[in-house]
Structure 1
């Protein structure tokens, strides 16, 4: 009987030590992330998302010669999921492109509001007006920190393959991860 009580006490004491250890770890202050580390994370993650999105746009252009706007979400585990308002291979009527873009933005915004995604991209093909022949893929990149940038990448079709050329970036006001009121 005494031995059973000693074993029970040892088990209880062991559980107490583990719980106390976990509690102490939970209360231990974390090392703050530096602005440089945060900037590097944002750059790395948005470049990764942009790369995956440009590859998807290239595949769609090569397969269908065009694509309807689509979205991409960067999940916390590093996975990229694509968001479609129109099935790949189908095109949006010119008068519905704005509706399609807004639908994609709303879907991504809902995921951002619920904290399910770290970053987003809204991807669409841009055709300049007038005599210009240069076409481009535009991408609205955002990150949960409020980072927002449009990436415009020119491309050319050569023997049925997309060749990306020069690109340019420009900041813009975030639509998917807008700044919270009071922050």
Structure 2
């Protein structure tokens, strides 16, 4: 017995719609994370709920970087082929620019009213914050470990360079001593050997 095929149409019941939104949002973000890991690509997902809440996922350390790359791509496409059809330009124009997205995010955070949130909303918000915190800590740890590794490599190179310089100095001192010995008159050299 398989699963029944779901007819794609708006869900009329508010609670069912909210539950479906939460489950599908989590599924979409999970798929985006899997896509970014499996295919080694940068993925950015922005979801705005019907209540105006913003949900986002970025496989890199910032959504801003992905949006900037998107804007550069659109600008480059316009410059490369100015004869792009109007339908293609309208396809890109329905997306927010990076500035508009950042402004919408700021508005959403400023307007967030914790008193109007249900317990389910708060639990989902808490889970998202924990997930984001884990990702942030993981990225920070990764960057710190890379930094420590780079510093160890630099330390090793500096030690090798220091050892080389010490060897050069020792060789120069030895050469100077030999030169001083050869500059002495022959009688003194003989006397030095006798002592």
Report the TM-score when normalising by structure 1. Answer: 0.26
Greater fraction helix = 2
Q: Which has the larger radius of gyration?
A: 2
Greater fraction strand = 1
Report the TM-score when normalising by structure 2. Answer: 0.25
The higher relative CO (CA closer than 8 Å, separation ≥ 6) is in 1
